[in-house]
Structure 1
């Protein structure tokens, strides 16, 4: 029996959004569909049809940031006495999971409250609400239909190039990454979409998201501890693979 995972490399608008579907059957994982310029309907389709969908986007905002905005609206903001501005503001920019990922991988995820990815996070929030509206409540800790993933961290943990392959000027590096991925996962069949992965880092990131979703579906990704779980339930949790890429082989 085959299993379907999907990967969504989400951007604020469709032109930079890619969605990949991987069909896992005995002996191989086949890339059956790869959409570039994916609109909300396509993203939602992936979440509804796949057994597990990995999304490259924060599933929430830092809890201290939400508290700060709420206090600002009420006119009750209190600045910690004696704490430099940059120091207390930093507490508002990154989530618990972002700090955990940085400690584990050395990579610092973008801030959903103080970076351009905030626009993408807003789009993601609307998609998750639409998913819940169709009877699929979302657990932002990743135990449900969707899980938050981070392609760069996955690549690094899988000993693959994780930097320098973005944008048109780095197509050679992107092609090298595809070669390395195929060598490391000979069971991965990119089919007719391989050429697309060699010219679009969005397309390849969507494939990486679908691979990470497979690791999550197998229960082989990081999960929040009991102490971290309440915060992760609102902020979201980045699931990092805890097994080598080779161990994803069907």
Structure 2
């Protein structure tokens, strides 16, 4: 389905106890082919003795934000900077199985630590994502996984590529990776995307990275008309990817980022 408007919600997911959750929302309309930022990006904590509802998430940015769609066909996409799955062999190990395993030549090839999508990122960009099973990012990953499943149940979202989709679906969750479009951790986004960012956000903050997540989310549904297209999962290894997840990255930007 082709959409008239795409709402991108960016969540730079922090851990369970920290106050480092960045939230941002932007929208793209086919009619104007422009990015517009909604409210003000924010940095928050998870609520005490509770989980974060979609309404609570978006309310931090704009108290009046709504998912109602009465005037045009709208796609809602949440871009999350955190792993949304663990490596398939790691799953097998936890279930008591004995997966094929030998000491790898490089850490990135350790099947207990890195997913197929992580190795794809390493192959294309030369960057090694953090491992949800081996690194501290597992804290953020479990928070992101728990909330994505909650929002699937309560708000009708579908986390991709885990779920089957239908033509009428208009609420998706995807995993993204802001660091790919920055030269270094605390620097600005690549100049190719900088003109789309809000003017008053400082690089190196969780709110800034949430804005990048929101751009990824908009790019998912805008079909390359303004932002670069995203790389979707390949047809091969489909079963593994559906179990482990996929990092949606700008497919035609790697040559710019590697220059």
Q: TM-score category by the smaller chain?
A: 0.7 to 0.9
The superposition leaves residues 116-149 of structure 1 with CA deviations (integer Å, 9 ceiling, x where unpaired) of 0111111112102211211525343287611110
Q: Which residues of structure 1 form unaligned runs of 5+?
A: 156-160, 166-173, 246-250
CA distance in 1, matches of 2:178, 2:7: 19
Tell me, what secondary structure is at the counterpart of 2:250?
coil
In structure 2, the partner of 1:52 is 77
Q: Which residues of structure 2 form unaligned runs of 5+?
A: 47-51, 59-65, 68-74, 166-170, 224-228, 255-259
Q: 1:35 to 1:131 in 2, by over 3 A?
A: same
The superposition leaves residues 227-249 of structure 1 with CA deviations (integer Å, 9 ceiling, x where unpaired) of 2221111211001112459xxxx
Q: 2:183 aligns with which of 159, 162, 166?
A: 162
In structure 1, the partner of 2:70 is none
Spell out the pairing of 1:177-188 with structure 2 (5 A cutoff): 177=188, 181=191, 185-186=194-195, 188=196
Spell out the pairing of 1:1-250 with structure 2 (5 A cutoff): 2-13=5-16, 14-25=18-29, 26=32, 28-33=34-39, 34-39=41-46, 40-41=52-53, 45-46=57-58, 49=67, 51-71=76-96, 77=98, 83-84=102-103, 90-136=110-156, 138-141=158-161, 145-153=172-180, 155=181, 161-165=182-186, 174=187, 177=188, 181=191, 185-186=194-195, 188=196, 190=198, 194=200, 197-198=201-202, 200-219=204-223, 220-243=229-252
Count of aligned positions: 215
Tell me, what secondary structure is at the counterpart of 1:198?
coil
Q: Select the structure that is richer in strand.
A: 2
CA distance in 1, matches of 2:221, 2:5: 13
Tell me, what secondary structure is at the counterpart of 1:35?
strand
CA distance in 2, matches of 1:215, 1:78: 37
Q: Select the structure that is richer in helix.
A: 1
Task: Tell me how far 1:104 sits from its aligned partner.
Answer: 0.7
CA distance in 2, matches of 1:228, 1:43: 36
Tell me, what secondary structure is at the counterpart of 2:8?
strand
The superposition leaves residues 202-231 of structure 1 with CA deviations (integer Å, 9 ceiling, x where unpaired) of 111101111111221134211122222211
Q: 1:233 to 1:225 in 2, by over 3 A?
A: same
TM-score under structure 2 normalisation? 0.71
CA distance in 1, matches of 2:206, 2:140: 14
CA distance in 1, matches of 2:141, 2:92: 18
TM-score under structure 1 normalisation? 0.74
